[in-house]
Every structure is written in structure tokens, then in C-alpha cells.
Amino acid sequence: MAILVVGSVAFDSIQTPSGSVDHCLGGAATHFALAASYFTDVRVIAVVGKDFTAEHESVFKKRSIDTTGIEHADGLSFHWTGSYVNNLNEAQTLGTDLNVFQTFEPKIPESYKDSEYLFLANIDPVLQARVRSQMPKVRMVCGDTMNYWIADHAENLAKVLRDLDVLLINDGEVRMLAKEKNLVLAANKVLEMGPKTLVVKHGEYGATAFFSKRSFGGSVQATHPFRAPALPLAEVVDPTGAGDSFAGGFYGYLASQPELTPTVFRKAMFYGGVMGSFAVERFGTERLQAVTHEEIEERFKLFQEISHLEYTGA
């Protein structure tokens, strides 16, 4: 089943303890689409400039990602410059050049309108709401946001939250959104804002899902939170796309399944962790371009092993 993702296709210039790269392919929609493409069909809506070449587009084409919705505009593509030299867990933004992304107005191709799953990546909530309103028949809507929209665009963001099946953000953003320091209390407040389910990313510590009474049609099987681990890695080369890759693996697996159940949801969180762990092994999208299905399943089994408890009743 096809996922429609709306977000940024960009270039990143990144510094980490492992080295640096200049203008590598990045952006939330890029990382999400590549990760999700290993599980289901993906369609992308974004805007790029003249610096986005056929070579860059071939990265999507090789994964059979539909790029009909990528608009080519005059000017340069969105470019982010950041450093993780001082702290791999927190990016220091050195420069943000919105360029053509500043006037981005998502346009949904006719061929995309039968998409069954919608992912609203981190963009202006006004645009997120506009896209959502044009896709009334999707089976599920998952959304992302960030501290900037939470702090300065709360009213518009609130309209988006009311119509989400899943909100996927990090733990700092959950606390900021709820104005609550305790994560459990914060998660409950966020669920009251509208999302049926909340997935909280903890970076190198994994992710936690919080469920409302509306999750899975009111299933009693999901009355408590579920924590999925992250894989301990000896080296993290570039954490830039980890969260978006997690989202792609998570949502891609959900979209590949005929039915959404608590068990399917929990497995999806593991696959999210798998794809996030691959993404950080190379700069930009390099690792996501080359991973195999066999590697994905091997790492999924590893995730199962590190989180399994053999209970004997003793």
C-alpha cells in the first residue's frame, strides 16, 4: 500500500567526529522515503532547485520511489549546515538556507490521490493541514513536527494534531508541547490534544509508544506504553537522518501490513529502530541507499535478541 510523504528534499553540510561532508543529499522526506521504500511503495511531494540533478533523483528512482510530486523550481534547494563535533546527540545548526523551500506550496498529483497512508514530515503546520484536507480517504495519517512550530505556531499545529492517527516526535518536543517535565504526564496531555497514538523518539535510547483509548479502535490490548530499544553502536558517523529513517521504517512496515494490531505496531517500532541504526552508519543517505532486505531482517532479529527475556516463573 502506498505512502505519500510531504516534506523536505535538501542538501546537508555536516561535521561530526568522523569527518565532514559538503552538500550531501538529505532532508526529512528523503530519509523517510528511502527507509520506507524497503517495505512498501512511496510517493514524494517536495520542492528542489536547479542544483538537484538527475544523479540526485536517481537515488530515489533506484529504490522505485515515485518522484512525480517533486517540483523543480528556479533557485537553489534547501541547504542545512550543522555540526555534531561537540555532541553527537544534539546538532549545532551553523546555517539554514531555505531557498526554494521558503515558498513551498505542496501540490498533489492526481496519481497520488489514491495513496492509503499519509506522512506529514516536519514542515509548516499550515501546509500539513492543507495536504491533509486534500486526502480525506487515507487509512492512516502520521505526522512530525519540531520545537519551532511548537513554540511559535501553536494554534496552527493544534489543528493538525486533532486529525492525526500517530504523532511521532522526540521526548524534548513532547515535554515542550505539553508544558510538562514528566514524560508520562506529558504524553497523556499530548494524546488529549488529538493524536490517537504518540511515538516518542529517545535517540540512542530507543522509542516509546503511548496509546489512547482510541488506538486500534479502542483495543484493550494497548493500555500501557511500549518501549522499543535502540541498537548499541560502536560508531555513529552521522546522526542527521536517524529520526526520519526511524519514521520511514516504522511507517513503511505499518503500511505493508493488511491490518493494524498492537503486535504489528510493536514490530513496526522495531523496524523503525533497524532503519535508524543503518542511517547513522554513513554520512547522509549513503547507507540507506545500499542496505539489503537480508541485512534488515538480520538486524531485526538482533533487536529481538537484545530485548528478549526468557521468563521461567522463578
Q: What is the pLDDT of residue 214?
A: 87
Per the domain annotation, does 39 fall within a domain?
A: yes
User: What's the pLDDT band for 310 if we cut at 50, 70, 90?
Assistant: confident
Average pLDDT, stretch 117-126?
97
- Tell me what the mean pLDDT of segment 145-162 comes to: 95
Domain assignment of residue 225, yes or no: yes
Cell digits for 107?
Answer: 501540490
**C-alpha grid cell for residue 20?**
565532514
Question: In terms of residues, how long is the chain?
Answer: 314
Domain that holds residue 32: 3-307
How far apart are the C-alpha atoms of 103 and 195, rounded to whole Å?
28
Give residue 218's pLDDT.
62
Q: Which three cell numbers stand for residue 96?
A: 539554514
Q: Does residue 314 lie in a domain region?
A: no
Report the C-alpha gap between 207 and 121 in whole angstroms.
18
Is residue 221 predicted with pLDDT exceeding 60? no
**95-118: b (≥16 Cβ within 10 Å) or e:** eeeebbbeebebebeeebeebbbb
Residue 48 lies inside a defined structural domain of this protein? yes
Q: How many domains does the structure of the chain reveal?
A: 1
Query: Is 276 contained in some domain?
Result: yes
How far apart CA 43 and CA 159 sit, in angstroms, is 24
- Give the pLDDT score at 266: 94
With both helix axes pointing from N to C terminus, report the angle between 54-61 and 28-36 in degrees, rounded to the nearest 10.
30
Q: What is the pairing mode between strands 197-201 and 207-211?
A: antiparallel
pTM above 0.85, yes or no: yes
Rounded mean pLDDT of the chain?
95
Confidence of residue 308 (pLDDT cuts 50, 70, 90): confident
Whole-number percent of the chain with pLDDT over 90: 92
Contact (Cβ atoms closer than 8 angstroms) between residue 275 and residue 295: no
In a domain, 144, yes or no: yes
CATH number of the domain bearing residue 73: 3.40.1190.20
28-36 and 262-279 helices, crossing angle to 10°: 120
Q: Which cell numbers hold the place of 137?
A: 480517504
What is the pLDDT, as a whole number, of residue 222?
62
Flag whether 224 is in a domain.
yes
pLDDT in tens, 244-303: 999 999 999 999 999 999 999 999 999 999 999 999 999 999 999 999 999 999 999 999
> Which one is predicted more confidently, 311 or 124?
124
Whole-number pLDDT of residue 90: 87
313 falls within a domain: no
Name beta bridge partners: 19. Answer: 16
pLDDT at residue 303, as a whole number = 94
